Amino acid sequence: MAFIRPFVEADQEAMVHIFRETAAPDLRAAGDPVLHYASYLWCRPYYTLQPDTCFVLDDGNGRAVGYLLGVCDTPSFVTKYRAAFIPYIEREGIEEPRPGEPVGWSENLPNALRNIMFNPEGMLHQDWPELMKSWPAHLHIDLLPEYQRKGYGQQLIERFCDVARKQGAKGVHLGMAATNDNAGKFYDRVGFTRFPAVVDDGVSGEQGRTEGAIWLVKSL
């Protein structure tokens, strides 16, 4: 029977597999190197830099089939990322786009991902200071399809939120694709609401929306 447990180093390969299988449709459609680069943004940094707040759904036989990757203090995580993870990705042979190269998501997706990779301060959302003040933790959660809609996602959220609360986090935030209606319903069930501000200069008129993403928060 599947159960929640802490991440261990032997889970790394399975974590990347889960990420690739559950990534956003545009990333999966693009294939590599896009999926490879994306794993260095939304998967590998967390278990590398903050393994103690990463949790795994174990299938009962030692295989990770889902995960929650979280950090309790995003500013501290960004500092660690710049100091330790950027040198790591450079050793992996990944380079920052050169000045003048297109880095827009719709212009050059591989470059866009590499640009984000080398600029972790984007995680601080400095244009929205209330986000870090009130909801400084953040997370990513993914489960293989056959383990979805069985209550495991809620268990992972509860496990991380309990740890984050004990470590002093006032709240947690996350971003999701605006088109992912099923994810929106799930996050609503587990207590997330939209970041309570219009953050795209009024273009959408919606709280918490930036182009194709919606930002959600949960107080702890």
What pLDDT is attached to residue 212? 82
**146, pLDDT greater than 80:** yes
Q: Is residue 210 pLDDT above 90, yes or no?
A: no
Residue 214 forms part of a structural domain: no
pLDDT of 205 reads 78
In a domain, 128, yes or no: yes
Q: What is the DSSP string of 153-212?
A: HHHHHHHHHHHHHHTT--EEEEEEETT-HHHHHHHHHTT-EE-SSB-STTSS--BTEETT
For the record, the structure tokens of 63 come out as 């295989």
Q: Is 73 helix (H, G, I), strand (E, B) or coil?
A: coil
23 domain-assigned: yes
- Helix H or strand E segment including 102: none
In a domain, 174, yes or no: no
CATH number at residue 142: 3.40.630.30
Q: What is the mean pLDDT of residues 165-174?
A: 98
Q: Is the pLDDT of residue 134 over 90?
A: yes
Interval 79-130: pLDDT, tens? 999 999 999 999 999 999 999 999 999 999 999 999 999 999 999 999 999 9
User: What 3-state DSSP class applies to 128?
Assistant: coil
Residue 203 above 80 pLDDT? no
- As a whole number, mean pLDDT of residues 44-49 equals 98
The pLDDT assigned to 179 comes to: 87
Neighbour tally for 129: CB within 10 Å: 10
Residue 206 within a domain: no
pLDDT of residue 82: 98
Residue 169 · residue 137 · CB < 8 Å: yes
Is the pLDDT confidence value at 133 over 90?
yes
- Rounded to whole angstroms, the Cα distance separating 57 from 75 reads 27
Residue with tokens 């933790």: 137
pLDDT of residue 1: 93
How many other CB atoms sit within 10 Å of the CB of residue 213? 17
Would you say residue 208 has pLDDT above 90? Answer: no
pTM metric for this prediction: 0.94
Element (DSSP H or E) covering residue 70: strand 64-71
pLDDT > 70 in the chain, percent: 100
Q: Is residue 183 part of a domain?
A: no
Q: What is the DSSP letter of 99?
A: T
The parent domain of residue 86 ranges over 3-169
Average pLDDT over residues 72-77: 98
Domain count, the chain: 1
Task: Provide the pLDDT confidence category of residue 202 given band limits of 50, 70 and 90.
Answer: low
Flag whether pLDDT at 204 surpasses 90: no
Residue 61 included in any domain: yes
Task: Judge whether 120 lies within some domain.
Answer: yes
